[in-house]
Amino acid sequence: MNFELNEEQQMLADTVERLVRNTYGFEQREGFYQSPQGYSPDFWRQLSELGITSVPIATDYEGFGGTGVENMLVMKELGRGLCLEPYLHSQVYAAGLIQQLGSLEQRQQILPSVASGEQLLAVADEEAGTHFHPEASECTAVPCERGWRLSGHKRVVIGGELAHTILVTARMSDGDGVSLFLLDPAAEGVSRTGYPCIDGPKACDLELSGVYVEADALIGPAGKAGPALAYQRGRALAAQCAEALGSMEEAFRLTLEYLKTRQQFGSPIGRFQALQHRMAEMRGELELARSMTILAACVADDPDSSERSRRLAAAKFVVARASELIAEQSIQLHGGIGMTWEYSLAHHAKRLVMLTHQFGDDDFHLGQYSALLELPRQASRQVA
């Protein structure tokens, strides 16, 4: 048992932390948000030059070959800086799906350009009726000559407006499981409607009207993408816990600083016990979130098992609850100023809450854990 970072990991964390601090101040971020692209291509280029974009991708495909721990270190700093780039959805989630499901040719063709940061990916796995259940997709893939025709409406594809390639879930027939296809968003029959999300990053809806994709656009076996989607969502949520942790740390730091400086009734408001206890409670939840983020990072790349699923569900549950608490209470403890667009705290609060709307919220994961609950009769008492 060891919770220390090795030298290489510490260097990685320091590098990202420094880069974010130097280039992603709150005012600069507002500029990136207001720009037509909605993010900073320059920041993305720097991430690429420093090799950060390659961290989650295997060495076989010119990646760094990082584990859940390296993903955690990167995402925590991107969370602290409220970064707008689709690192999580492109480098961790989408690339992970290709790595797990893709043929050797697909992997060799796509992943190196993702690792280098040239090609951005996105995953279109949510629809009006899915709500964290991508296996319930109702988009259709109808076989045609030398390929398929995809139809349906995809919702809230994070990073989808920027992506060069989008991974799309669809179903070949009613009784069948879900399949995954590579989609060129410029293809005929694709209509993209872009918009910013309330916490900053850009997303889009996709209308697919009989879009033709070639036979080799299918990733992995037909109708059997469900387990890989679940597994990769686990990896992604582990990394997302770290993003939330970075943001929570910053929101907590800002709030603590405010309590020490804001004067009312002749003293800093941090002298009042009601507020002190609230902060102590938030500090406690933050610590639990940190512990579960570490646990999630350590098990994210374990082989699929009930134990891994339970731990990841528990991590997301604990982090989501902590995120909501810290978001709501940071605003409350700041009073009116916490509700203004011009103060970074409000944007942390928005990010923290909206992260719970991706990869399952606390209720979703409570249900997942509950379904996997280990009962004494089944349990062989666990040794580590």
Partner 1 sequence: MDIHFTPEELAFRSEVRAFLEQNLPADIAGKVRLGRRLSKEDHQRWQKILNKQGWYAVNWPVEYGGTGWSVVQKHIFDEECAAAGAPRLVAFGVNMVAPVIIRFGTPAQKEFYLPRILSSEDWWCQGYSEPGAGSDLASLKTRAERDGDFYVVNGQKTWTTLGQHANRIFCLVRTDPAAKKQEGISFLLIDMDTPGITVRPIITLDGEHEVNEVFFDNVRVPVENLVGEENKGWTCAKYLLTHERTGQAGIGLSKAALAHLKDIASAETVAGRPLIDDPLFRARIAEVEMRLMAVEMSTLRILAATRDGGVPGAESSLLKIQGSEIRQAISGLMRKALGPNALPFLEPELEPDFGGEPLYRDYSASPASQYFNLRKLSIYGGSNEIQKNIIAKQVLEL
Binding site for partner 1 (CB under 8 A): 1-5, 9, 69, 256, 259-260, 270-271, 273, 275-277, 279-281, 283-284, 287-292, 294-295, 297-299, 311, 313-314, 317-318, 366-367, 369-370, 373, 375-377, 379, 381, 383-384
Comparison of 71 and 90: residue with beta carbon closer to partner 1:
71
Whether residue 125 contacts residue 158, with contact meaning beta carbons closer than 8 Å, is answered with no
Comparison of 172 and 279: residue with beta carbon closer to partner 1:
279
Spell out a b/e string for 61-83, using b for 16 or more CB atoms within 10 Å of the CB, else e. Answer: bbbbebebbbbbbbbbbbbbbbb
Joined tokens for residue 17: 């932390």
* Residues 6+ away with beta carbon under 8 Å from 289: 241, 244, 245, 248, 318, 319, 322, 323
| 320 vs 2: CA distance, rounded Å | 25
Comparison of 188 and 381: residue with beta carbon closer to partner 1:
381
| 222 vs 20: CA distance, rounded Å | 41
Min separation Cβ 126 and partner 1, Å: 24
Comparison of 55 and 101: residue with beta carbon closer to partner 1:
55
Min separation Cβ 329 and partner 1, Å: 14
Min separation Cβ 19 and partner 1, Å: 22
Burial class (CB in 10 A: 0-12, 13-18, 19+), 212: middle
| 68 vs 92: CA distance, rounded Å | 10
Comparison of 104 and 383: residue with beta carbon closer to partner 1:
383
Min separation Cβ 356 and partner 1, Å: 15
Comparison of 147 and 270: residue with beta carbon closer to partner 1:
270
Min separation Cβ 367 and partner 1, Å: 7
φ, ψ at 35 (rounded to 5°): -70, 160
Min separation Cβ 277 and partner 1, Å: 5
